[in-house]
Amino acid sequence: MDTLHALSQETRLKIFRLLIKSGPGGLLAGDIARKMAAPQNTVSTHLALLSRAGLVERTRRGREIIYAPQLSAIHDLVLFLTQGCCEGRPELCGPLVDDLTLPLSEKKEAGDQLYNVLFLCTGNSARSILAEAILSRRGKGRFQAFSAGSYPAGKVNPFAIELLEKLDFSTSHLRSKNWDEFARPEAPAIDFIFTVCDNAAGEVCPIWPGQPMTAHWGVPDPAGVEGSDAQKALAFDDAYRQLETRINRFVNLPLDTIDRLSLKKHIDEIGNNLSPPLKHHP
């Protein structure tokens, strides 16, 4: 099978994993080379092989070429592998197939009605804090929101606190904390992880228990805006609106019926603003 041959080389496998993490929006060859710390001509050769194997799709945008993973090829590859390994013993591969094709809700433990969502940023002082507050209110009863940072600032940005309090949010529980807290055995089982800054998206994350679904929802950093207090406050307002729009789309996804492959595509598209929201039907 061409796909197996294409993924048998270590560098190509790493490139393919990077593209899967990037989502359907894809990456430029130069961006892939930088993230891989590899020569661009070497990366281009590997991308050509992945494209011929049907694992990667090339899309031209002006003079640039975007490379994105072919999710249908991933699905076909998994089915091919499971059919081969499970002949006569379906119990071996059933969990793998279920993990790809069943709705997320069917894999939740009995009595577990909440989806735990973790928002990650570098400092965990602004964007991830805003996202945690928004989802805690918007998803009450269905979602439990958390936030953390790879290098936490140690305190929440005062402009974030001011904005949330102006919008009648409770802020006493909000704090800047390290993402390692959520990789511990006693931490809540996380179902979704969303990175909201580009730095956190490119960093090596801890090993998260339970293999949560991830996506990148990058938002410009309001804490990096220079100028008057009024200009800084406007930047926080804008970040809040972007996060609120994405979170509203997320909470309306039909988690009770959508399979994991489709769900991954939709949460990636939310971050790329590629498609209208799906309506949730209780």
Q: Would you name the residues annotated as active-site residues?
A: 121, 197, 205
Q: How far is CA 191 from CA 83, 87, 107, 111, 112, in A?
A: 28, 31, 11, 15, 12
Q: Is 195 helix (H, G, I), strand (E, B) or coil?
A: strand
Place of tokens 């197939």: 97
User: Alpha helix (H) ranges present in 23-126?
Assistant: 29-36, 40-52, 71-85, 94-101
How far apart CA 40 and CA 53 sit, in angstroms, is 20
Distance CA 13, CA 32 (A): 13
Tokens 């499970």 belong to residue: 86
269 phi, psi to nearest 5 deg: -65, -30
Are 277 and 248 contacting, i.e. CB atoms less than 8 angstroms apart? Answer: yes
Cβ–Cβ under 8 Å, residues 19 and 268: no
Q: How far apart are the first and last CA of the chain?
A: 42
* Cα–Cα distance, 107 to 99 (Å, whole number): 8
Decide: helix, strand or coil at residue 180. Answer: helix
**Helix (H) / strand (E) containing 208:** none
Burial of 103: CB neighbours in 10 Å, binned 0-12, 13-18, 19+? middle
